[in-house]
Each structure stands twice: as C-alpha cells, then as structure tokens.
Structure 1
Amino acid sequence: MTDSATPGDARLLTPADVRVLAGRLGVRPTKVLGQNFVVDAGTVRRIVRASQVGAEDVVVEVGPGLGSLTLALLPHVGHVTAVEIDPVLAEALPRTVAEHAPAVADRLSVVTADAVRIPGLPGPAPTALVANLPYNVAVPMLLHLLELLPSLRSGLVMVQAEVADRLAAGPGGRTYGAPSAKAAWYADVRRAGAIGRNVFWPAPNVDSGLVRFVRRDAPVSTAPREAVFAAVDAAFAQRRKTLRAALASWAGSAPAAEAALRAAGVDPSARGEALGIAEFARIAENRPES
C-alpha cells in the first residue's frame, strides 16, 4: 500500500489536494463550525484501523469536511453515511469521492444537517460511528448520536485531548465528570491514542485524542435516562460539595437528598466524582416525588 492509495482504488487527499479543493469551493475553515481539516493520509488510515470497522459495517461519519477520512473509510466498509452541516461541503463530497475513489463511490450517501439536532438518518441503520467531531460540540453530539442511533455497536471519534480524557475517565479522579458518567450510560469508553496538531489545516491550538467506544447495556433502572442524567448534572454542577448538599435543589431539600442517597446505598458525604453511572441510576430511582 502506498501513501496515496488504499484497497478499492481510493486515492487519499494530500495536503496540496486539500488546499486546491478548498480554494475551488471558496471554503475557509471556520471556528464557528469547528472546522480543522485533516491533511495527513497516515492519520486517516490510523483512524480507520483503530476503529476496527469492516466490510459489514454501515458507518456514520459526522463532519466529513473535504473528504479525507471518508476516502479512507469507503474501501473498508459496506456503506458510509456522511452528515455535513455545511451545504457547500455536502454538495462537493460525492464529486470528490467519484474522482478519488470511483470503485466505491456508490457506498456513500450524504445528509446535509446539524448532527446535534438531526432527528434520524435515512438508509441502512449505522453500526459504527467514525468521525473527527467538531470540537466545540463534541460531547453533546456524541451523546445525541448514541441516544438517537441504538444500532451503533461501536465507534472511534477524534476530539480535543482534554475531552477525550474526560469521556474515558472512570470514577475517582478529577478528570471524571458529567461527560464521563453520561458516556458510560451507553458504552465502555477508552482512550485510543493521541493526534498531533500538524496533521490539520489549519493547525488547532489544542492537542487531539482518539476515543473508542463499545456499546453496552444501560444500567438496569426504573428511572428513565433523562432522570438519571439530571442527577448527574446536579452532582457535578457543584462537584466540590458533598452529594447531600449538591443534590439538595434536585431533591427538594438537603434532608430529601440524604434520604434518596441512603435509599440508594450511597454515602451522603461522598462527592459525585466517586460514583459510577449505576449508582446515579439508583439515586434517580429514589428521588422523592415532587
């Protein structure tokens, strides 16, 4: 395999290709949309390998941009549904794929939409998420897609390094927080590597990290997900306080919070960072009726 080809006759974008294509489209990366285009072929190949996707997978890719990762994915999977908020980029992507990967161009479909607000996806149910997520909305976007698409079995996303640490953190550390607990509702989440700044155009002023997730069953709970997440948010809104104090407003009073915690088998003097998602689910089950 050379630096410019992958199986299935796909020619990946070089840094020069990216700049030429952007110039042709009149596109300048914007901070508003969180756009930093990957220009390194080795990086997109690494992402595909780390995602562990295969020929049977239907992949949803969010924010394909100019198509660097899309081109790397298409020869290795059954289908890619690319969700792009920028209509200029969305319109151009099929043409880019037809030019660089004609043998697999029929495996691509493009949806022009905001992935944070999209109500659903057309076509085959996706089995994997592989994406360079817009860094400014990475956490809400990932959580929305995990809730929206129960068919997702696994995925690999590139996010800001600090966010990657938070998503993959387990209870007991300062990095652990609401994003960690909420992601754990859906999946086992782990760090899958670091990405340097020089593989992007323009180079971001933050480091990046890869996060891989594998879907698992949500905790068994009589409380709905929204109620559990409300307890998580309340606990981490004032993370330096004990749970008795932090959950007082959520429960209606400090004594009510203590009663819910004790009923859930949780020490009222503990802090949110000590609890796993299953414990938050038990707390939500025992919230007093309002």
Structure 2
Amino acid sequence: MTLLGAAEVRRLAAQLDLRPTKSLGQNFVHDANTVRRIALAAKLDRAGHVLEIGPGLGSLTLALLEVSATVTAIEIDHRLADLLPTTVAAHAPGRVGDLTVITADAMTILGTDLAGEPTSLVANLPYNVAVPVLLHLLSEIPSLQRVLVMVQAEVADRLAAPPGSRTYGSPSAKAAWYGSARRAGAIGRSVFWPVPGVDSALVAIDRHAVPRAGDRKAVFAVIDAAFAQRRKTLRAALSGWAGSPVRAEELLRAAGVDPGLRGEMLDVDAFARIAEARAAADLQVGP
C-alpha cells in the first residue's frame, strides 16, 4: 500500500477540477506521516469496522485501511465519493472490497443506513459543522465505542474541557453524556491543502461502557438553556426553560444544585438530575 503525498493530492484535485470550498470544510491532508499517526492513535482493531466522515481525496482512508478490516466513508461531494474507490484501487490493490462509500450528508446518516455496525469513528471533520456532526453520530450509531476526530483546536479544547474551566460549555457537557473526552494531540497547518487559517487538534472520546440512563433530549435541553446565558446564575438562566425564576429555583433545589451557580460549574450528571427533577414535578402535577 502507498499513501498520498502533496503532488498526488493536487493531481487528483486537478483531475476533478476541484477548488476546495470553505462551505464544505475542504482542507485535504497531504502528509503520509500525519495520517499514519492518526490511524495509529485511533488504536483500531485489525478486524474492526471504521466509520470515516469526509474522506475527501482519500489520504486518511488509505491509512485506515492499513490498520483495520473495513472502512465506511461518508462523503457529501459526489465527485470525491465517485473517485475514492479508484484511488484506493490504485494505492491499495485488493482492498477496494473492504471500502464502502456512501454519498450523503453526515448529518442525515442513521445507523440503519450502514452495512454492519462500525465500532470506531475516525475523521477529519469539517470545522464549521464538527460538533453537530459528532453529536449526531454518537446519538444515531450506538455501536461506536471509540472516536478520534480532527477538529479546530478551539473546538477540541471545548469538547475536552472539564466543568469549571474557561472553555467548558454545551459541547463539553453533551460529549460527556456519551463518553470521556480528551485532547489527543495537535496537527500543524502545513500538512493541509489549502492551508487553513486556524490550528487543528485531535480529540479522542471513549464511550461509556454502560449507556447513561435518562432522557437525553431533556438533559440536552437543560444544557442548552444553561449555556444560552452562561454569565447568569442557573436560577436566571433556566427561568425560561422552567417557566419562571421561582420554579427554576425549586427544580434546582430538588436536584441538589445551588441556584446561585452558573452552568459552567455543573457536570453532566448535575444537568441530568435537573431534568429528572422537572420530569418528576411534571408527573406530580399531571395533565
């Protein structure tokens, strides 16, 4: 197997008359050492099934096929999706049958759209939609047990931030619902074409062995409300969600949470208790 270099990436792009667009987050990795580093950091099972989002010209796809059994690639650009099997055939003879390419928007993908159950997600996610795509896939594909994604460095910091830190926010709490997240390394700008105007980093998420109990949508609604006005106390920030400041305080106290705290101080378990307190209160009131 051979991997793509800078000259090959540009040749493939020219073949498609491709001009990378910001709207699709098209920054293609052209450094073989970088994609091999990502594939190794993902700790893939050689018998495993990997899901890749936005394979682009195939740099990371080839590296993933080196260390895993099968890869399912989701690509929104039909030109890139059509070319990918040909690129794999040229650089990894005999592995085309281990690649499945689906032309689709990752935000619309469901687990039932995939053949088999991928256990790992490894991707260079488009910067402008990285968080919603990641959260959507974790929700829709419960078979995913490990995630390693490249995102904008600031987004990586937010996803991996602990409660109480400056960068902790809605993405941090929501990611924690699914698993433990950590920053897994930095990626230099020079390995991309075109060169992005921001730094990149890797985020690893290990899914909880036992899924959390509770109503995820209800918990996420509390998180959204708390961080929509993050500088306000929870009593004020959750007043719209609860119906009034007084009711917000009642629910917070029922959940064992100080109404004078801000959302940035709460972990996902505390947000879950608040959602449970409201559900219990609504049940007592009845229809």
User: Fold-level match, TM-score > 0.5?
Assistant: yes
User: Take 1:218 and 1:102, find their aligned partners in 2: how far apart are those partners?
Assistant: 39
Is the contact between residue 157 and residue 210 of structure 1 (CA under 8 Å) also seen in structure 2? yes
Equivalent residue letter for 2:117: A
**Mapped pair 1:220 → 2:213:** yes
**Mapped pair 1:155 → 2:140:** no
Instruction: Report Cα offsets for 1:155-208 as digits up to 9, x if no partner.
Output: 100000000000000101110000000000001110000011000000000000
User: Take 1:15 and 1:260, find their aligned partners in 2: how far apart are those partners?
Assistant: 57
Instruction: Report Cα offsets for 1:3-23 as digits up to 9, x if no partner.
Output: xxxxxxx11001000000100
**Mapped pair 1:67 → 2:58:** yes
2:201 corresponds in structure 1 to 209
User: Take 1:218 and 1:226, find their aligned partners in 2: how far apart are those partners?
Assistant: 14
Q: TM-score, normalised by structure 1?
A: 0.94
Q: CA deviation at 1:25?
A: 1.1
Is the contact between residue 130 and residue 155 of structure 1 (CA under 8 Å) also seen in structure 2? yes
Q: CA deviation at 1:220?
A: 3.2
Is the contact between residue 110 and residue 141 of structure 2 (CA under 8 Å) also seen in structure 1? no
2:137 corresponds in structure 1 to 145
SS of the residue 1:103 aligns to:
coil
User: Take 1:74 and 1:180, find their aligned partners in 2: how far apart are those partners?
Assistant: 31
1:247 corresponds in structure 2 to 238
Out of 168, 173, 178, the residue aligned to residue 165 of structure 2 is: 173
User: Take 2:94 and 2:184, find their aligned partners in 1: how far apart are those partners?
Assistant: 30
**Mapped pair 1:14 → 2:5:** yes
SS of the residue 2:253 aligns to:
helix
SS of the residue 2:107 aligns to:
coil
User: Take 2:130 and 2:81, find their aligned partners in 1: how far apart are those partners?
Assistant: 19
Structure 1 unaligned residues grouped into runs of 5+: 1-9
Q: How many residues align?
A: 279
User: Take 2:127 and 2:221, find their aligned partners in 1: how far apart are those partners?
Assistant: 24
What is the correspondence of 1:1-290 to structure 2 with a 5 Å cutoff? 10-120=1-111, 121-216=113-208, 217-221=210-214, 224-287=215-278, 288-289=281-282
SS of the residue 1:116 aligns to:
helix
User: Take 2:34 and 2:249, find their aligned partners in 1: how far apart are those partners?
Assistant: 49
Q: Percent of counterpart pairs with the same letter?
A: 64
Is the contact between residue 219 and residue 277 of structure 1 (CA under 8 Å) also seen in structure 2? no
Provide runs of 4+ in structure 1 moved above 6 Å: none
User: Take 1:212 and 1:238, find their aligned partners in 2: how far apart are those partners?
Assistant: 28
Q: CA deviation at 1:89?
A: 0.2
User: Take 1:259 and 1:276, find their aligned partners in 2: how far apart are those partners?
Assistant: 19
User: Take 2:184 and 2:203, find their aligned partners in 1: how far apart are those partners?
Assistant: 5
User: Take 1:111 and 1:220, find their aligned partners in 2: how far apart are those partners?
Assistant: 32
User: Take 1:174 and 1:44, find their aligned partners in 2: how far apart are those partners?
Assistant: 31
Equivalent residue letter for 2:167: T
User: Take 1:140 and 1:236, find their aligned partners in 2: how far apart are those partners?
Assistant: 16
Q: CA deviation at 1:272?
A: 0.4
Instruction: Report Cα offsets for 1:68-119 as digits up to 9, x if no partner.
Output: 0000110211100000000000000000000110132211000000001223
User: Take 2:20 and 2:43, find their aligned partners in 1: how far apart are those partners?
Assistant: 29
Is the contact between residue 121 and residue 146 of structure 2 (CA under 8 Å) also seen in structure 1? yes
User: Take 2:183 and 2:94, find their aligned partners in 1: how far apart are those partners?
Assistant: 33
User: Take 1:277 and 1:269, find their aligned partners in 2: how far apart are those partners?
Assistant: 18
Q: CA deviation at 1:286?
A: 1.2
User: Take 2:114 and 2:107, find their aligned partners in 1: how far apart are those partners?
Assistant: 16
Structure 2 unaligned residues grouped into runs of 5+: none
User: Take 2:174 and 2:133, find their aligned partners in 1: how far apart are those partners?
Assistant: 12
Instruction: Report Cα offsets for 1:17-65 as digits up to 9, x if no partner.
Output: 0000100111111001011000111100010011111212100000000
